[in-house]
Amino acid sequence: MAGTARVDNAQLAEVFLAEVLATPAGEKVKTCLQCGTCSASCPTSYAMEHTPRQVIAFFRAGLLAEALRSNTVWLCASCYSCTVRCPAGIKLTEVMYELKRLGTKYGLTPPGESLPALSKAFVHSVDNYGRNFETGMMVEYTLRTGPLGGVKLLPFALKMLRLGRLKLRPETIAGVADVRSMVQVLEQEREAQ
Amino acid sequence: MRYTFYPGCALGASGVPYGKSARAVCDKLGVELADLPDWNCCGATAYMSVWQDRSLTISSRNLALAEQQGGDLVVVCSGCYCVLNKANQYLAESPDLRETVSRALAVVGLAYHGTVKVRHLVDVLVNDVGADRLRAAVTNKLTGLKVAPYSGCQLSRPFGGFDDPEIPRVLDEIVAATGATVVDYPVKARCCGGMLMTTRTEVTETLVGQLLACARDRGADCIVTACPLCQVNLECYQGQVSAALKRDLRMPVLTFTQLLGAAYGLPGDQLGLDQMMVPVAQLFEPRPRAEARAAS
């Protein structure tokens, strides 16, 4: 999936707009007035290479790939401060989610960005058990991103285990086959398109 | 009072104390929580970051199952609260998505008609049970204990219609009902960093550090949260956060259900008070808190 599909900026903008427009109030993204309320409200914008406002400007300038290769969208914690404050009614958190999905799909991420790996480990856990098995997810994430992170996490994990707050075995729901069948329907429809 | 209960994945592991205490407190208040049979992951943040349609579809399986039970669906995780409400909204407002999800649900013999109301336990306790009853059940008044109420993000944004998205107040009412002092905590709706604690540790240490520092500066004895992820972020990394911000930021961080349970005199093991990374027992010792402070 990641890195397998090649895409240029024009295609990226087209897919982005189509996906955003398919969500409730998605058309508002066209009405951004570049006021910067989102950037001023964002708790992580201080660490971003480009602010959330600038990401919209990048989109308008046809430079979405460049925006995705910066750290900006990967620093969005989904706190929805921008969404509730945007005077144009843009659901900027959803826009950020869409950009994360595009970056993951096309392998457009800054060097060393590990959010796609975490997300994929999370999805695998849900595919396998129907629920997120935290321990399994973190093991897979560590395997994908390098063992050093796992070594760092070990004391934390052992402490949580001793406190009865870490599970060593997953719990599989009875309807896990149903969850997989539902996902399969969506994937088949996606392929048919 | 009977509700269908959606525990969410965190309650099976890192959120065990939250789950225990939520059940114990509801039991005490006569609020019946009947677990949603065979619930699955809500499709939260990490899932939504890869697949939107799949996230909303698996979320809808929970809503369809809850609809069969009837009544409101109660959650204790702000992430689940946000995603399940989002699924409800998207299905109501996007006919295309509704059709896609309906086709997927039909394959497993389910249908969803959009009638389930998703509610956070904070909302249920304050608006259905009511502050009077929350207060009446108190046997161990937490007089003198200073509590910083931390609502976080997704309890009131963007779906928490029961509270203000900028300055949430409903959690304060629960703290006040215990007899504890509600600390004025201006960062109560600022983000804890969520799952960025794993992928962008240095940024999240700063966010968590600011939340802990503000609570200490305001003289709080502890912080109370309403989300299992906020709880873990605020409680479980205090060593590294203190090192990163070069300041001792250690402080007990409980869930609001643990605080209520302590005020109701419930045994610590029923509330998971013995499972905390930062010890909390001293907060609830029958010590003359107010007197001790007045004398010092």
Q: Model confidence over B1-36: pLDDT tens digits?
A: 999 999 999 999 999 999 999 999 999 999 999 999
Tell me the domains of chain B and their CATH numbers: 2-121 (1.20.1050.140), 141-272 (3.40.50.11810)
How far apart, in whole angstroms, are the C-alpha atoms of residue B80 and residue B66?
A: 14
Sequence length of chain A is: 193
Tell me phi and psi for residue B4, to 5 degrees.
-85, 135
Number of alpha carbons in the 13 Å side-chain half-sphere of residue A185: 19
Indicate the pLDDT class of residue A3, thresholds 50, 70 and 90.
Answer: very low
What is the model's pLDDT at position B180? 98
- Quote the pLDDT of residue B289: 53
pLDDT value at position B288?
A: 57
Supply B62's token pair.
């929970």
CA pair distance B75, B58, nearest whole angstrom: 16
- From A140-144, A161-165, B177-181, B210-214, the region with the lowest mean pLDDT: A140-144
Residue B201 predicted with pLDDT over 80: yes
The CA-CA-CA angle for residues B149, B254, B259, to 5°, reads 80
Q: How near does any CA of chain A get to the CA of B246, in Å?
A: 19
- Domain edges within chain A: 9-106, 115-192
Q: How confident is the model at residue A1 (pLDDT cuts 50, 70, 90)?
A: very low
When the candidates are 1.10.1060.10, 2.60.260.20, 2.60.120.200, 1.20.200.10, the CATH number that belongs to A9-106 is 1.10.1060.10
Instruction: Name the pLDDT band for A150 (thresholds 50, 70, 90).
Output: confident
ipTM of the complex: 0.95
Nearest to A104 by CA among A163, A53, A57, A144: A144
Q: What is the amino acid identity at position A156? A: F
B295: pLDDT strictly greater than 90: no
Q: Which pLDDT does position A2 carry in this prediction?
A: 42
Specify the higher pLDDT residue, B191 or A193. B191
pTM given for the model = 0.95
Residue from A122, A125, A133, A154 to probe the interface with B (highest B Cβ count within 10 Å) = A122
Interface mutation target, options A132, A140, A168, chain B, most CBs of B under 10 Å: A132
**Token digits for B17?**
């104390």
Give the rounded percent of residues in chain B with a pLDDT score beyond 90.
95
Query: What average pLDDT does the segment A22-39 reach?
Result: 96
Least Cα distance to A92 among A52, A41, A43 occurs for A52
**DSSP count for chain A of H helices, then E strands:** 10, 0
Closest-approach residue (CA) in chain B for A26: B94
Query: What residue of A is the nearest CA neighbor of B110?
Result: A178
> Does residue B104 register a pLDDT over 50?
yes
Position B292 confidence tier, pLDDT thresholds 50, 70, 90:
low
- Which of chain A's residues have a Cβ under 8 Å away from the Cβ of B191? 43-44, 77, 79, 81
How does the average pLDDT of chain A come out, rounded? 94
Q: What is the pLDDT of residue A155?
A: 92
Contact B195 A77 (CB under 8 A): yes
Query: What's the gap in Å between the CA of A19 and the closest CA on chain B?
Result: 10
Q: Which of B58, B203, B277 sits opposite A179 (nearest CB)?
A: B58
A-B interface: how many C-beta pairs under 8 angstroms? 188
What is the per-residue pLDDT for A4?
A: 47
The stretch B50-65 carries a mean pLDDT of 97
Q: Which residue of A has its CA nearest to B108?
A: A178
pLDDT over threshold 50, residue B84:
yes
- pLDDT at position A148: 85
CB distance A44–B207 less than 8 Å? yes
pLDDT category, A64, cuts 50, 70, 90? very high
The tokens for B57 are 């579809």
Nearest CB among B58, B94, B166 relative to A182 is that of B58
pLDDT of residue B161: 87
Whether A111 shows a pLDDT value over 70: the answer reads yes
